Every structure is written in structure tokens, then in C-alpha cells.
Amino acid sequence: MEEQDKILQEVTSQEYKFGFVSDFESDSIPKGLNEDVIRTISAKKNEPEFMLQFRLDAYRKWLKMPIPDWAYLKIPPIDFQDIIYYSAPKKKPQYESLDEVDPDLIETFNKLGIPLEEQKVLAGVAVDAVIDSVSVKTTFKETLAEKGVIFCSFSEAVKEHPDLVKKYLGMSVPTSDNFFAALNSAVFSDGSFCYIPKGVRCPMELSTYFRINAAGTGQFERTLIVAEDDSYVSYLEGCTAPMRDENQLHAAVVEIIAMDRAEVKYSTVQNWYPGNKEGKGGVYNFVTKRGICRGESSKISWTQVETGSAITWKYPSVIMMGDNSVGEFNSVAVTNNHQQADTGTKMIHIGKNTKSTIVSKGISAGLSDNSYRGLVKVLPGAVNSRNFSQCDSLLLGSTCGAHTFPYIEVGNKSSIVEHEATTSKIGEDQIFYCNQRGISTEDAIGMIVNGYAKEVLNKLPMEFAVEAQKLLAISLEGSVG
Amino acid sequence: MTLTANKIALSEKYTELFHAHRSMLDAGSSSLLNRMRDIAIKRFEKTGIPGFKNENYKYTNLERVFDKDYRHILEYEQVDVDLNEAFRCDVPQLDTHVVLLVNGWYYAKNQPLQNLPKGVVVGSLKQVANEQPELVQEYLNRQAALSDDPIVALNTAFAQDGFFMHVPDHVVFEKPVQVINIMRSQDAIFATQRNLIVVGKNSQAKVIFCDHTMSSRDFLTNNVTEVFVGQDAVVDIYTVQNQNNQANSVNSSFFKQEANSNLLSSVATLHGGLIRNNLKVEMAGEHAEANLYGMSFTDKKQHVDNFTNIEHAQPNCLSNQVYKYVLDEDSVGAFAGRIHVVRDAQKTNAFQRNNNVLLTDSAKMNTKPQLIIDADDVKCSHGATIGQIDEEALFYLRARGIGEADARMMLMNAFAHEVVQNIRVEPLRDRIDELVEKRLRGELAYCHSCDRH
């Protein structure tokens, strides 16, 4: 307690030392959360009545919920009244040229092979309009519009397609789902909306990649993807470059709805700021992601590469309602230093002949803790269902932890569920073999880890896979003694 | 809201019972038992009877069985049990020392055991605690007190009697001790039983627990067994649970293993109502080995939950768990296994497997294997499967002229045999094989030898 007070004192005195003045921009609201704040957010965004009701409903439910404490995580207390829930896009520090940017960051960019112009965008260097991601996005939009695909920001969707938003919002993640989803539903600022009409195969991979410097999506992001009958879309989220975000708490929600024979492929590379080597700072990432296979023979697959965040709390799930529907989850989660991750999936089999596959690869290094937590539930009506789960953990160093918490519930005799998990370290013989062939220990570990994660990385779209591979090596840098 | 109110009322029922009968519990019991009661009841009060919201009891709601009205057995009652009847539980070709416990109490008419090796003490916990407290003092409640399970605390608060065995250092106790737990009463009863087994350095011992009922009433037993396995010792504990389907029980076993010791625990659950087996193993010395097996055959509305927790506190230890379930009709099975490798417990090998066969659409299986690994140089794995009998194997047998029913039976026997074959006492292995086969054929209506219907 004393130490906390001391830190608090230091922080407060610092503010005064530098003559901190709270100069709220014209359209931001004070800290704290109450119904008035939610009304204000909704009013500022000119939202229709149903959105306000959705938010208020979520807020009232949120008030009654306790913070979940079941995860294998040490979550420091979060003061929800100490957060500004709506503010004008925060201006990131603007640099005149790349020379001013932290050299470490530049080095990381180079290792990832990110083109110079893009590096500038990511690092927050002022860029001229020609390569501005916004213009790139606009060109894409025209191609998409020809096919009838709607891909826009959430606020835009609320204004232009309120009927679609009203119909699908909250369908797979209801407001009362969990503490962080309820909070997100009450205060979400923006996000993406994607609608693929019947029979359309989306011609390109949709990505939020290009929006990174169009700030403002902020802490509480909301994504809604609807795939109508016989459609297909592959959606990429995130960015392999390190994001130096000041927001401590992120509570995002992603909803996917797949109708008859539709297929949605959702890939994420998450690389938020993980905090420094001593475990100070870093993003708390509490994400609710869920897809519903509403139609028969529909398919939803989640692929994720998690390397960032101080705390990751994330369980992308699939509810297989339609007969013959398929759910997939492929994950690589890397934790280093003081990072903590509790991630996994839920596969709920409701329809007949539904199939799901789970492949989870955890890699822990440093002082980190990495947990897999998953549920496979086969309801009595889900006859002939099939699940296969495999979760492997790799430990690098004796001070980290790898944990597995699978839950399997089966309610009929014709379903088959298999689960296997292993925990091990990189064999000394494997390293020796590489050393013998002139490969340094560090490179050898990188190679072995990549080979270990290959099964999942292969599921990523091409351009992501290459970067993700390099990212793995960077995340584990220095973890080998 | 009413649910919570119920839960509180239910827990209060047990604390009130404790306070009202405190003097009765203390009377005749050693101070070793009495001094633990206050802390234990407070610990119980904190959590109360665990409902399904308690993570450790997620798949087994104990409120349902604790809610019934029972007569509590708080002092020794004379129940007539024909010793010959009990002896029919005997395993053919297996010479054992037989000890009878009735409703959780050491049976007064037990004959003193003959020809025990020098220094071996077998008897009533209550009696030994009174007469030779030095044998009990160092061990009693040393493991159970560390548990956060409220049902274990409840046992400690009410504990008066049970089975006690002490094997001193350097003694090979060849002849197995068979403990027959019998429940017999004309009304619904609640019994508390506390067992303590201490096996010294470089010694060997085998104990067989047989749980039976001799009347078909509602029973609830709360058993706690603490086992201390000394350095270089070899200990086998076999349990056969075969009670009537209204007999519910919570059995918590604690094992503490010293260096180089070897433990085998095998639990066969045939008949019973709601059965929960908690099993905790602590590897307190290097190079210890634990083999834990369980099998469960359920039908009707049976509910069997095995909850294991293996703590690898020292390096170079080995643990191996295999649990198998066959679930028929409306029965529900649950398995939760946890392997915890603490920091620096390097070179640990820990394996766990749970295989289940569901025979009907109304049977249910919930499994929750867990690994918590804080050391890197380890080999740990767990696997869980839920499915049916392999159709290809079935086809193979049928193609060779074996009828479908027989082929299924053969495959099921083979499925169970993987667990049975690990039993290290041959006559007992044959006997359990036979019991399993009968159980699968449906010929075993309760235990065939103890059956009184």
C-alpha cells in the first residue's frame, strides 16, 4: 500500500512539476462512467435511438457484473471511473523525419521488412497525402462497392445501414455476455463493419491494417462481420509492427455471423506494447470474439498470432448452430518478460454433424505465464459431432510458466472428442544438431520455434505469414541465455 | 437469490449440528482430534457446502446430496453384522487381514489381527489416538489441514473414528489389509470416517478398501484418508466402490510421498449414487513415483466425479494417471485432473490420460484435465477422449464370426483391462476383472456377495 502511495505521489507531483494543465479538447468529456456519459457519447456520434438503448441496456447490465477473476492472470485493479470514455482522436507525437524516431523501433521495422513509407505511418511521422492510407482505402472501397460488399467504419454503418446494424448487432455477443463485452457495448467508440451479400466471394482480403494511423478507434473497438448465404470473406486484423499505445485498457468486441454455406476467415496479429523488461506499463487486452455459424454448412475460422500486450484475455469462439457447420481455431501465443496471457477458445456444438478443430501453440519465455483455456461443448442434439484439440506448450527458460485448462463436455453418444496437450522445452540435442551445422543458438531457437508454430502460421494469409514469422523471432529476442 | 439463501441455510445446518453436539464429538476422542475441530469448522463456514459455482465442484453439485435429512452418526452404535457375510467379500486365493468398519466406525467385534510383523499397528483411529498418541500426533491432519476443500474441513470437524495403520521403518508387510466399509441402517444416515495410514522408511504395505452397503437407504459418507509414504517405501491402495445407488459419498485421499517412494492407487467404481473422489498427491522427495488409476462403470442416474491434483514439488519425479469411464443410461461422469509442476521441479515426467465411452445419448461426460507447469525441463502431457467403441475393431471381430453383443463386450472389457492390469496383486486383479465383466454384463446388481435383496 505504501509503495502504491509513493508511486501515486510521484506521479501527481510530476504532473505539477511539468506544469501540467488539463486542457480538454472541445469534444471530449470528463473522466468517469455513468448514464449521462453514455447519452453524451451516443449524442456526439448522432446515433439513432436503438443504439442509445443498446448502450444503456449494456451499461445497466455491466453495473451488476463482477470483474471476472477466474483466469490464470494477475490483473491489477482497474479504476473504471478513471478513464475518459470519449475524446477527440488523440494526437500522436508527430516527428519531422524518421531520424527522430526511437532507433530501436526503426530496427524492429527493418527486421520485419516493412517498407520505408509504411514505417513512417506506423511510427507517427507526418506523411504526405499521396501514400496516406486513407486514400489507399478509398480506392479499395470502389472495387468492393462494385461487388456490393459494405466495408466501412462502424459509425458510418450506423448512419448509412442502420437496419443491418440493428439486425445483427449483439447477435453473437449479447450485451450481457461478460464484463468486458458489456463495457464495450456501453461505450464503444468505433470499429469496422463488413457485410458480404449473398453469393459474393470478396475479391480481396479485407484489412484494418490501413486504418492504423486514422486514430480514434481507440480503446473500445467493435467489429461486426456478416456473411450472407454462399459468401466468402477473409478478414485481417491488426498489424505486425509494435504499437506504442498509451491506452492501458483495451476491451474490444468482434462479432461474426455466417449464414448458409458462408465462410469467414478471421486472422489477427496482435502486437500491442507488452510493457518494458521490468513489466512496467503495457496494454491490458480484454477481448471478446465470437462467431456464430447460423446457417447450415457454414464455416468460421480464427487464426491468431498473439505476441504483444502485458495481459491478454481472449477467447475467440464459434457457436455451430447450423447443421454440418465447421469451426476452427489456430493460435500461436508468445509471452516474454512479464507478459501474461490466458487465451483459448470455445467451441459450442449445437447443430448436427458439426466439426471443430483447435490447434494452440503456446511459447513462454522470461518470467511470463502463458495459459490455454478452452471449452468444447457438445449438446445432446449435436449428433455425430467431431472435435479435435491439440494444445502444445513450449517453455524457454526455467522462470516461465505454461498452463493448460481445457474443459470438455459431451452430451451424446455419437460424437467424438479428442484432446491432447503436451508441454516440453527445446531439446538440447536439437540445438546441438543446429550448432554443429554452424547455426548459432539464437538462430537455432528461432528456427525451432518457427517450425513448432508452422502449423498455425501456414493458415495466415501470405503477407501476414512472412511478417509473423519474423515477429516470433523478435518477440523472443534475448530470451535465450 | 433463493439459491444463495438455500446454500447459506444448508451450511448453517451443519455448523449448528456441530455446535449442538460438540460435547458428544469430544467425548471419548483424543485431544489430538478435538483440538482441530474449531479451526476446521471455521474453515468450513467460510465456503459452506460447495455448489456448482465453485470451480472445483463445477460438475458435481453437492448441495443436492447434503440437502437431504440424515440421522448423523455421532457415537458408536451397535449394528449387527454377520462377520461371515462380510467375509464373503473375500478375494479368492488372496489371504488378507480383514478389518470391518460399520457406518464409519471401527467394528467392536473385529478380531485382533494375528501374526502382524513386529511394530505394525492396525486398528481404530480413535483407540490408537487415545492409547498411543505418539503414533498419530505427527501425522494426523498434516495434509488435510492444507486443503481448501470445505468438505475436508467438515470431516476434520466431525472426525472421531476410522481406520488406522502404522508400518514402522524397514518392514515388508506382505499380506494385504482389507478394510471393508459397510453402511447399514434402517434410516437415512450421514457418516464421517477418518483414516490414517503411515508407512515408514524402506517399508512396504498394501491396503484394499471395499465400500459396500447392506441396506438400501439414503446414505452420505464423508471420508478423509491421509497416507504417508516414507522414503524408499512402496505402498498400494486399492479401492472398490460398490454401494447401492442411493449411497452418496465424498472421498478425499491425501498422499505424501518422500524420496524414492512408490505409490499405486487404483479406484474401481461399480455401483453407487453420487460419488466424488478427491485425490491429492504431493511429491515431497526426489525420484518419487506415483501411478494413479481409476475406472468407473455407471448407469441409471449414477454420478461419478474423480478429481485429482498431483503436485510435483521436487525434481525428478514421475506421475502417471489413467482414468477410464463407461457411461450408460442417464449417468453423468466427471473427471478433473491437475498436474502442478512447481518452479525448479526439473526433470519431471507427468502423464495423464482420460478415456471415456458414452453408450447412450442421455449419458454425459465432462472432463477438465489441467496442466500448470512452472519449470521448463519437464515432459508433461495429458490427453482426453470421449467417444464410442471403435467401429473398425467391432467390424474386425464380427468378420471373424463373433456376434455383435459379444464383440462389444470383448472390446469393453479390453478397454477396462488397461486399467485393471496395473493392479499389482494378482488374485485381486482377477477378482476385479471378474467384477468388471459382471458389471458390464449387467449381472452385478450391487455387489453380488454383499447384496441383501
Model confidence pLDDT, tens digit, residues B297-354 = 998 899 999 999 999 999 999 999 999 999 998 999 999 999 999 988 999 999 999 9
- Judged against a pLDDT cut of 90, whether residue A152 lies above it is answered with no
Q: Is B385 on the interface with A (CB under 8 A)?
A: yes
Structural domain includes residue B389: yes
| Nearest residue, CB atoms, B361 vs list A400, A412, A418 | A412
| C-alpha cell of residue A159 | 448512419
Instruction: Tell me the pLDDT of chain B averaged across its residues.
Output: 90
Q: Choose among B325, B327, B347, B348: nearest CA to B335.
A: B325
Q: In the predicted model, what is the mean pLDDT of residues A424-437?
A: 89
A282 band by pLDDT with thresholds 50, 70 and 90: confident
Q: Choose among A468, A472, A465: nearest CA to A443.
A: A472
Cβ contact (<8 Å) for B381 and A420? yes
Model confidence pLDDT, tens digit, residues B214-272 = 888 899 999 999 999 999 999 999 999 988 888 999 999 999 999 999 999 999 999 89
Burial class (CB in 10 A: 0-12, 13-18, 19+), B263: buried
Q: Rounded distance, CA A442 to CA A435, Å?
A: 10
B42 band by pLDDT with thresholds 50, 70 and 90: very high
Q: Rounded distance, CA A44 to CA A37, Å?
A: 10
| Nearest residue, CB atoms, B366 vs list A399, A409, A412 | A409
Mutation test of the interface with chain A: which of B327, B339, B386, choosing the one with the most A Cβ atoms within 10 A? B386
Please report the pLDDT score of residue A71 as a whole number. 86
Q: Choose among A378, A228, A375: nearest CA to A298.
A: A228
Q: Rounded distance, CA A442 to CA A282, Å?
A: 26
Q: Rounded distance, CA B213 to CA B61, Å?
A: 23
Cβ contact (<8 Å) for B386 and A415? yes
Q: Rounded distance, CA B244 to CA B184, Å?
A: 11
Residue matched to cell numbers 469534444: A27
| Range with the poorest average pLDDT among A21-25, A102-106, A196-200, A274-278 | A21-25
Structural domain includes residue B449: no
| B114 Cβ contact partners less than 8 Å away, ≥ 6 residues apart | none
Residues in B touching A417 (Cβ below 8 Å): 384-387
Residues in B touching A425 (Cβ below 8 Å): 376-378
Burial class (CB in 10 A: 0-12, 13-18, 19+), A309: buried
| Range with the poorest average pLDDT among A86-90, A154-158, B120-124, B170-174 | A86-90
Find, in chain A, the residue whose alpha carbon is nearest to that of B354. Answer: A419
Cβ contact (<8 Å) for B387 and A416? yes
- Judged against a pLDDT cut of 60, whether residue A139 lies above it is answered with no
Mutation test of the interface with chain B: which of A342, A347, A389, A404, choosing the one with the most B Cβ atoms within 10 A? A404
Specify the DSSP element, H or E, that contains B364.
Answer: strand B364-373
Mutation test of the interface with chain A: which of B374, B378, B390, choosing the one with the most A Cβ atoms within 10 A? B374
Instruction: Tell me the pLDDT of chain A averaged across its residues.
Output: 80
Residues in A touching B57 (Cβ below 8 Å): none
A327: which strand partners? A300, A356
Find, in chain B, the residue whose alpha carbon is nearest to that of A409. Answer: B366
Cβ contact (<8 Å) for A404 and B369? yes
Q: Rounded distance, CA B414 to CA B418, Å?
A: 7
Structural domain includes residue B452: no
What are residue A76's phi and psi, to 5 degrees? -65, 150
| Nearest residue, CB atoms, A393 vs list B55, B362, B373 | B373
Please report the pLDDT score of residue A25 as a whole number. 40
Burial class (CB in 10 A: 0-12, 13-18, 19+), B313: buried
Please report the pLDDT score of residue A111 as a whole number. 62
Please report the pLDDT score of residue A251 as a whole number. 87
Write out residues 345-364 of B within 8 Å (CB-CB) of A: 346, 356, 358-364
Q: In the predicted model, what is the mean pLDDT of residues A285-306?
A: 93
Cβ contact (<8 Å) for B388 and A404? no
| Range with the poorest average pLDDT among A23-27, A392-396, B138-142 | A23-27
Structural domain includes residue B259: yes
Cβ contact (<8 Å) for B372 and A411? no
CB B19 within 8 A of CB B26: no
The region, left, alpha or beta by phi > 0 then psi within -120 to 50, assigned to residue B140 is beta
| C-alpha cell of residue B372 | 500448470
Q: In the predicted model, what is the mean pLDDT of residues B165-189?
A: 92
Find, in chain A, the residue whose alpha carbon is nearest to that of B390. Answer: A416
- Antiparallel, parallel or unpaired: β B121-124 and B163-167: antiparallel
Please report the pLDDT score of residue A203 as a whole number. 82
Model confidence pLDDT, tens digit, residues B89-101 = 667 777 888 898 9
- Judged against a pLDDT cut of 60, whether residue B212 lies above it is answered with yes
Q: In the predicted model, what is the mean pLDDT of residues A264-287?
A: 83
Cβ contact (<8 Å) for B368 and A397? no
Distance from CA of B387 to the nearest CA of A (A): 4
Question: What DSSP designation does B42 have?
Answer: H
Distance from CA of B307 to the nearest CA of A (A): 13
Residues of A at the B interface, defined by Cβ within 8 angstroms:
70, 72, 380, 383, 393, 395-425
Question: What DSSP designation does A92 have?
Answer: P
Domain ranges of chain A: 148-426
Please report the pLDDT score of residue A424 as a whole number. 84
Residues in A touching B358 (Cβ below 8 Å): 410, 412-413
Residue matched to cell numbers 486399492: B238
B441 band by pLDDT with thresholds 50, 70 and 90: confident
| Range with the poorest average pLDDT among A49-53, A150-154, A469-473, B382-386 | A469-473
Residues in A touching B336 (Cβ below 8 Å): none
Mutation test of the interface with chain A: which of B54, B353, B354, B371, choosing the one with the most A Cβ atoms within 10 A? B371
Cβ contact (<8 Å) for A421 and B381? yes
Please report the pLDDT score of residue A102 as a whole number. 61
| A336 Cβ contact partners less than 8 Å away, ≥ 6 residues apart | A274, A364, A365, A366, A368, A475, A476, A479
Please report the pLDDT score of residue A96 as a whole number. 60
| Nearest residue, CB atoms, A404 vs list B371, B375, B386 | B371
Please report the pLDDT score of residue A11 as a whole number. 36
Please report the pLDDT score of residue A256 as a whole number. 96
User: Which amino acid is residue A145, in one-letter code?
Assistant: A
Please report the pLDDT score of residue A214 as a whole number. 35
Burial class (CB in 10 A: 0-12, 13-18, 19+), A243: middle
Q: Rounded distance, CA A444 to CA A452, Å?
A: 12
Structural domain includes residue B124: yes
Residues in A touching B344 (Cβ below 8 Å): 398
Distance from CA of A125 to the nearest CA of B (A): 42
CB B180 within 8 A of CB B87: no
Q: In the predicted model, what is the mean pLDDT of residues A380-392?
A: 93
Burial class (CB in 10 A: 0-12, 13-18, 19+), A345: buried
Find, in chain A, the residue whose alpha carbon is nearest to that of B380. Answer: A423
- Judged against a pLDDT cut of 90, whether residue B4 lies above it is answered with no
Residues in A touching B338 (Cβ below 8 Å): none
Domains identified in chain B, total number: 1
User: Which amino acid is residue B239, in one-letter code?
Assistant: T
Q: Choose among A373, A425, A426, A365: nearest CA to A401.
A: A365
Greater model confidence, A375 or A68:
A375
Find, in chain B, the residue whose alpha carbon is nearest to that of A367. Answer: B374
Please report the pLDDT score of residue A92 as a whole number. 45
Query: Integer distance in angstroms from the first to the last C-alpha of chain A?
Result: 35
Structural domain includes residue B453: no
Model confidence pLDDT, tens digit, residues B8-40 = 888 899 999 999 999 999 988 899 999 999 999
Model confidence pLDDT, tens digit, residues A305-319 = 888 888 999 999 999
Residues in A touching B349 (Cβ below 8 Å): none
Q: Rounded distance, CA B35 to CA B386, Å?
A: 46
Please report the pLDDT score of residue B201 as a whole number. 96
Find, in chain A, the residue whose alpha carbon is nearest to that of B53. Answer: A70
Residues in B touching A414 (Cβ below 8 Å): 361, 388
| Nearest residue, CB atoms, A403 vs list B371, B376, B383 | B371
| Nearest residue, CB atoms, B373 vs list A403, A406, A416 | A403
Query: Integer distance in angstroms from the first to the last C-alpha of chain B?
Result: 43
Q: In the predicted model, what is the mean pLDDT of residues A277-291?
A: 85
Question: Could you give the angle at the alpha carbon of B399 between the alpha carbons of B393 and B404, nearest 5°?
Answer: 70
Q: Rounded distance, CA A465 to CA A461, Å?
A: 6
A119 band by pLDDT with thresholds 50, 70 and 90: low
Which residue range forms the structural domain that includes residue B355?
2-441
Greater model confidence, B324 or B79:
B324
Percent of chain A with pLDDT strictly greater than 90 = 38
- Judged against a pLDDT cut of 50, whether residue A213 lies above it is answered with no
Q: Is B374 on the interface with A (CB under 8 A)?
A: yes
Structural domain includes residue B390: yes
Greater model confidence, B446 or B199:
B199
Cβ contact (<8 Å) for A404 and B382? yes
Size of interface A-B (CB pairs under 8 A): 116
Structural domain includes residue B451: no
- Judged against a pLDDT cut of 80, whether residue A15 lies above it is answered with no
Residues in B touching A405 (Cβ below 8 Å): 368, 370
| C-alpha cell of residue A453 | 508454430
